[in-house]
Amino acid sequence: MSEPPHGSTSDATAAAVAFAGPGPGGGPRARLVALDFDGTLAPLVDDPTASAMTPAARAAVDRLAVLAAGATAGGGVLRVALVSGRDVADLAARSSAPPGTYLVGSHGAETGVVTSDGVDAVPLRLTTEQQATLGALRAGMSDAAAGRAGAWVQDKPSAAVLHTRLSPGPDAAAAVAAADDVAGRLGLHAMHGKDVVEVAVVPTSKGEAVGRLRAALEQESGLPVVVLYAGDDTTDETALAALGPDDLGLKVGPGPTRATQRVPDADALAALLQALADGLDR
């Protein structure tokens, strides 16, 4: 991973406007706009239950959802997805995403779509072995956080997450090392993000989730599909790695990345999404 070769917001916006344009030969195409939530549309906060989109991000997502409900310029199709490490129920509650929005939770282990009546989610079913492993995982992660100031564990339907955002450096390092040991003993993969370590009993990634969304949209629309993905964390890099030459990857904030473009924060991403909507609304 490296710094994107084109680091300015204006370059990123120009790339988004081009993404709104016609495909090769001028024919229609389907577009998937897939967005991480925390740190991308919503600034990172100490209390995850207080996370919310900025007003500008909310307006941009709502506008894209309106466009997704009809045909875009040139007869194309648009779909909007939120792709998060949060479980689907939590993502739905925190995002209040508009109807028609696809929701991908737990880094791809859970999926659903927002309807006027709530969320139509695909049930997550664990095998007996996975349930037993999840129990051992939760106990081990609780032990990893015990006695370490500010560290706490979040239980998800198929994972446990160690949070160290509020921990002093030595306590955070000790808790992370202990969490890694738990994952290793259970033969599981530890995903490291910004002040979090997540260990899941269902192997998946945001990259796999984006691939499934692409395939579903291609089948639904019968059109070639291009993807815009925006994220801020290391866990978003699998999605960015899954993009092709006609797709657009955006890094929100600093840090090395596979993305080709970068914006500084949620409001800059919102302005870019509004420019994309302008192009699709012509």
Identify the pLDDT of residue 27.
Answer: 86
CA distance 58 to 35: 12
Identify the pLDDT of residue 24.
Answer: 77
Q: Which of 170, 200, 230 is the last residue of a domain?
A: 200
Residue-wise pLDDT tens digits, 225-256: 999 999 999 999 999 999 999 999 999 999 99
Average pLDDT along the chain: 95
CA distance 225 to 148: 47
Mean pLDDT to the nearest integer, 184-193: 97
Q: Within this chain, do residues 27 and 96 fall inside the same structural domain, yes or no?
A: yes
Residue-wise pLDDT tens digits, 101-138: 999 999 999 999 999 999 999 999 999 999 999 999 99
Domain CATH code at residue 209:
3.40.50.1000
Q: Which of 200, 232, 256 is the last residue of a domain?
A: 200
Q: Within this chain, do residues 161 and 209 fall inside the same structural domain, yes or no?
A: no
* Residue 191 confidence (pLDDT) above 60: yes
Identify the pLDDT of residue 3.
Answer: 56
When divided into structural domains, the chain yields a total of 2
Q: Does residue 39 lie within any of the structural domains?
A: yes
Domain CATH code at residue 170:
3.30.70
In residues, how long is the chain? 282
Q: Does residue 1 lie within any of the structural domains?
A: no
Identify the pLDDT of residue 1.
Answer: 63
Residue-wise pLDDT tens digits, 218-228: 999 999 999 99
Mean pLDDT to the nearest integer, 202-212: 96
CA distance 51 to 99: 20
Q: Please report the DSSP string for 214-240 in residue order.
A: HHHHHHHH-S-EEEEEEE-SGGGHHHH
Residue-wise pLDDT tens digits, 11-40: 999 999 999 998 777 889 999 999 999 999
Q: Which band of pLDDT confidence, cut at 50, 70 and 90, is reported for residue 70?
A: confident
The encoded tokens of residue 201 equal 């009993």
Identify the pLDDT of residue 5.
Answer: 47
Domain of residue 222 covers 9-124+204-280
Residue-wise pLDDT tens digits, 254-281: 999 999 999 999 999 999 999 999 999 8
Q: Within this chain, do residues 13 and 120 fall inside the same structural domain, yes or no?
A: yes
